[in-house]
Chains A and B, each alone.
Chain A
């Protein structure tokens, strides 16, 4: 007679397969139920704002994932801790994000500025959104009037509240957990166009989407990250800029509100000056 451990192994090892056509049907029904529920939630709570949050969260997921990949690729002869410390040592950075729904679609754009203390300024559509800690304020750019904050700002506030700081570790912890070690970015020598730029490709095992990362060899900082889906050409591009200094007013919603009354002050508060930018 078999020992009990063998019986457990036998039961657990008894596998079954599934028919793909039914799998597709179940997934389609799941997606429909999910979309209906999400739509109901949007109608109930935040109108179209939550739908934007979903899109924005998706974009940030991609950016977060890409940044973690960059941190890994920056390894080579530099450890992960060095990359992480280096990223955190950058006091300010901005990201211009371009999204395309398919290869021929018109790209949509947003811009994000952030300090590593967690101050955020986001420009998206007709809104500029400020966030720090649990305070979020949004304004219509044209009128300067307060409006309901964009869902993306809520996303960041929530994230910062969870992690207390913006770091690559936080992104990895939230987005990938242990899975980050499963995917290794590989240098693609064919894509290198300059000695001081390193190009890495990542092919995640669980999705056909591909990631390409351009990083500066010496500083290990990412300058561009692209995620694209070869099936339809859907893509998200993130272009990074790093800053040594930015005025406190730039992240201050009150300063923005008052600056709209005076064009001279407006220029001082809202201009992002490239001199002093550091890469």
Chain B
């Protein structure tokens, strides 16, 4: 937290070198967060890039009131929600097919290189209901406390905790079954 305050303080004062530290510090977690929330890898990577670039644009006047990681994670989660909503609209209109869009259409020279373990996690996450997936990923990859996730999901902490527990239970079951197979 202290380092984040210093980084923001430096960015407020025109020290652009702090950008690379913010990027290096949170790149992997944001990519894992977006990659777990969305089935479309390319879209997930685009979202993370966009969040970083938009943050850089805000940085000279950015005021840190909580956790920087939490802020960035929430931005990614918001963008992922919008992306999912847009996907649903396209699907309803049959546009994906018309535009030749395909889920998981990752170009061979994409950004993230997924480990086998992350690929398994991602596949299991895709089986969860969206709300549970959001809670699990925001808590584990975004380090967001349940209270903040509850505010973001506009629900109670108890509901968020339940979603987290049910989500983990299902992941445990999916990943264990996969191991047995």
A21 to B175, CA, bound (A): 33
Q: Is B126 an interface residue (CB 8 A)?
A: no
Could you tell me the distance in whole angstroms from the C-beta of B161 to the nearest C-beta in chain A?
Answer: 13
Could you tell me the distance in whole angstroms from the C-beta of A105 to the nearest C-beta in chain B?
Answer: 18
Q: Is A16 within 8 A of B60, CB to CB? A: no
Q: What mask results when residues 48 to 68 of chain A are scored 1 for a CB within 8 Å of chain B, else 0?
A: 001101110110010000000
Q: Is A190 an interface residue (CB 8 A)?
A: no
Q: Is B118 within 8 A of A34, CB to CB? A: no
Q: Is A86 an interface residue (CB 8 A)?
A: no
Q: Which residues of B contact A53 (CB under 8 A)?
A: 13-14
Interface residues of B in 8-58 (CB under 8 A from A): 9-11, 13-17, 19-21, 23, 27-28, 31-32, 35, 49, 52-58
Q: Which residues of A contact B13 (CB under 8 A)?
A: 53-54, 57-58, 155
Q: Is B130 an interface residue (CB 8 A)?
A: no
Q: Is B112 within 8 A of A17, CB to CB? A: yes
Q: Which residues of B contact A58 (CB under 8 A)?
A: 13-15
Q: Contacting A26 at CB < 8 Å: which of B23, B115, B176?
A: B23
Q: What mask results when residues 48 to 79 of chain B are scored 1 for a CB within 8 Å of chain A, else 0?
A: 01001111111111000000000000000000
Q: Is A61 within 8 A of B27, CB to CB? A: no
Q: Is A89 an interface residue (CB 8 A)?
A: no
Could you tell me the distance in whole angstroms from the C-beta of A101 to the nearest C-beta in chain B?
Answer: 14
Q: Is A203 an interface residue (CB 8 A)?
A: no
Q: Which residues of B contact A2 (CB under 8 A)?
A: 172, 175-176
Q: Is A23 an interface residue (CB 8 A)?
A: yes
Across the interface, name the chain B residue whose C-beta is closest to A158.
Answer: B13
Interface residues of A in 163-221 (CB under 8 A from B): 174-179, 206-207
Q: Is A36 an interface residue (CB 8 A)?
A: yes
Q: Contacting A7 at CB < 8 Å: which of B10, B52, B168?
A: B168
User: What count of chain A residues pass the 8 Å CB interface test?
Assistant: 49
A95 to B41, CA, bound (A): 53
Q: Which residues of A contact B149 (CB under 8 A)?
A: none
Q: Which residues of A contact B35 (CB under 8 A)?
A: 16
Q: Is A34 within 8 A of B56, CB to CB? A: yes
- Knowing A18-B31, A174-B6 touch, does A36 contact B57 (C-beta < 8 A)? yes
Q: Contacting B56 at CB < 8 Å: which of A18, A30, A55?
A: A30
Q: Is B23 within 8 A of A27, CB to CB? A: yes
Q: Is B150 an interface residue (CB 8 A)?
A: no
Q: Is A206 within 8 A of B21, CB to CB? A: yes
Q: Contacting A27 at CB < 8 Å: which of B19, B31, B109?
A: B19
- Knowing A14-B117, A36-B57, A51-B14 touch, does A19 contact B110 (C-beta < 8 A)? yes
Q: Is A54 within 8 A of B171, CB to CB? A: no
Q: Is A18 within 8 A of B112, CB to CB? A: yes
Q: Is A18 within 8 A of B9, CB to CB? A: no
Q: Is A78 an interface residue (CB 8 A)?
A: no
Q: Contacting B6 at CB < 8 Å: which of A7, A16, A176?
A: A176
Across the interface, name the chain B residue whose C-beta is closest to A179.
Answer: B3
A21 to B112, CA, bound (A): 11
Q: Is B173 an interface residue (CB 8 A)?
A: yes
Q: Which residues of A contact B58 (CB under 8 A)?
A: 37
Q: Is A34 within 8 A of B11, CB to CB? A: yes
A6 to B117, CA, bound (A): 13
Q: Is B120 an interface residue (CB 8 A)?
A: yes
B residues with a Cβ closer than 8 A to A are 2-3, 5-6, 9-11, 13-17, 19-21, 23, 27-28, 31-32, 35, 49, 52-61, 109-115, 117-118, 120-121, 136, 140-141, 168-169, 171-173, 175-176
Add 15 more A-B contacts to A4-B172, A8-B168, A38-B60 (CB < 8 A).
Answer: A2-B175, A4-B169, A18-B112, A26-B49, A26-B111, A33-B54, A34-B16, A34-B19, A34-B59, A37-B60, A41-B60, A54-B13, A61-B15, A174-B9, A207-B17
